[in-house]
Homo-oligomer: A and B are copies of this chain.
Amino acid sequence: MESKGNYEFAESHPVNGGEGPYSYLQNSTLQRGAIEASKEMIKEAILKHFDMNKTLDSASFSNQIFLADFGCSTGPNTFLAVQNIVEAVQLKCQLEKPHHLDHSDDHHQNPIIFQVFFNDHFANDFNTLFKSLPPTRKYLAAGVPGSFHDRLFPNSFLHFVHSSCALHWLSKVPSQVTDRTSPAWNKGRIYYANAGEQVKKAYSDQFAEDLMSFLRARAEELVVGGLILLIIPTVLDILLPSDNTINMEIDLMGSCLVDMTKMGLVSEEKVDSFNVPVYFPSPSEVEAITGRNGHFSIESMEKLNIENHVLLPNLQMRVLYLRAALEGLLQKHFGNEIMDELFNRFSNKVAQSSIFLNPENHKSPFLFVLLKRNPH
């Protein structure tokens, strides 16, 4: 572990907390869809790649598995993901070492105990998360606050890492895009979709730096043989950023803000200085960054097949999906007063857009990535 001596608060962009109508908890069906779609892939990945003996031996706690979900938010999706993983590992145990699940009192035959660490930013609503923990869960639970771009666990501690729909959040807006003197200045936009190549590159570079930090920290925290399972919103290599529906929607949101500057409701400067710190990488970008880290082998990298349009079946759900995810960020910059106006305008624009009129065209592919910690 790099000894930093202390742990600073990182910039954070929490989704909407609580359980209200605009909460993430109530408006995350798309993210849930990704986890549901990955269930079989998780099972297959664990059966094929999770080496119980090797992984557990290296951790010395012979019947204990430490699992962390990075970017857990407030639930309920994280609980579903964790349950899928726990069940798959239990199945693997049953197949490999039936006595692991034996309830005998013999010290060496204790059942596997799962300790799950739920991580998210300091500003995440952990109170809601903890109150939502499934009463019938078969694991010990802990919350770990802090940025997943930093170290959060001791060395060689975790056996399994999961992160779903979280790594596309950048640690910060790339500084060039709000710098008037930079060729990457993103004037009149709040996002890289439909912006120039320089803006796109600034975002892409920031994503690479962030994923490097994530992998560097996890490489130290994982035992050799430990697995990382990532679900990342992606764009296919052959597509432009604008070919991802969510990207188009964030750009539409930007155009609403630009309209509001024209009506004097928001200052132009406010809009120019705001950018959404989200980036959807291509599979080849993720592959290249993982290669640069060098501590992981890529066991699997596949597109998740989910019927996105079914998960956001109507206009309201589509708008609430983005509101739950982005409102905190928008409020912090623009103040609370314009939120209803902004989301009304956004709702109207979405209603008239091809995204909504032709839902079959909805594209928000997810990338399923399975990494294994190398011995070196």
Residues of A within 8 A of B (CB): 1, 3, 5-9, 60-61, 63-64, 103, 110-111, 113, 115, 117, 122-123, 125-127, 130-131, 133, 135-138, 140-146, 151-157
A136: B residues at CB distance < 8 A: 5-6
The answer to whether B113 touches A123 (Cβ under 8 A) is no
Q: Which 3 A-B residue pairings sit nearest by Cβ, starting from the closest? A: A60-B60, A130-B145, A143-B143
Distance from A70 Cβ to chain B, minimum over Cβ atoms (Å): 13
The answer to whether B138 touches A5 (Cβ under 8 A) is yes
The answer to whether B144 touches A3 (Cβ under 8 A) is no
Distance from A75 Cβ to chain B, minimum over Cβ atoms (Å): 13
CA separation between A130 and B63, bound complex, in Å? Answer: 30
CB-defined A-B contacts under 8 Å, sample of 25: A3-B103, A3-B111, A5-B136, A5-B138, A6-B135, A6-B137, A7-B137, A7-B140, A8-B135, A61-B154, A61-B157, A64-B154, A64-B155, A64-B157, A110-B155, A113-B154, A115-B154, A123-B131, A126-B126, A127-B127, A140-B151, A141-B146, A143-B143, A143-B144, A143-B145
Distance from A159 Cβ to chain B, minimum over Cβ atoms (Å): 12
CA separation between A135 and B110, bound complex, in Å? Answer: 39
**Known pairs A115-B153, A141-B145. 18 more at Cβ < 8 A?**
A1-B110, A3-B103, A5-B136, A6-B136, A7-B133, A7-B135, A7-B141, A61-B154, A64-B157, A110-B155, A115-B154, A117-B142, A122-B130, A122-B131, A125-B127, A126-B130, A140-B152, A141-B144
CA separation between A143 and B120, bound complex, in Å? Answer: 12
CA separation between A42 and B195, bound complex, in Å? Answer: 60
Chief secondary structure at chain A's binding surface: loop
Distance from A119 Cβ to chain B, minimum over Cβ atoms (Å): 9
CA separation between A143 and B126, bound complex, in Å? Answer: 9
The answer to whether A153 touches B140 (Cβ under 8 A) is yes
A103: B residues at CB distance < 8 A: 3
Distance from A113 Cβ to chain B, minimum over Cβ atoms (Å): 5
CA separation between A304 and B327, bound complex, in Å? Answer: 50
Distance from A160 Cβ to chain B, minimum over Cβ atoms (Å): 15
- Looking across the interface, which residue of chain B has its beta carbon closest to that of A139? B7
The answer to whether A9 touches B127 (Cβ under 8 A) is no
CA separation between A8 and B137, bound complex, in Å? Answer: 9
- Known A122-B133, A143-B143: A1·B154 in contact at CB below 8 Å: no
- Looking across the interface, which residue of chain B has its beta carbon closest to that of A9? B135
CA separation between A9 and B152, bound complex, in Å? Answer: 27
Distance from A94 Cβ to chain B, minimum over Cβ atoms (Å): 15
- Looking across the interface, which residue of chain B has its beta carbon closest to that of A132? B122
Distance from A163 Cβ to chain B, minimum over Cβ atoms (Å): 17
CA separation between A136 and B6, bound complex, in Å? Answer: 5
CA separation between A145 and B116, bound complex, in Å? Answer: 12
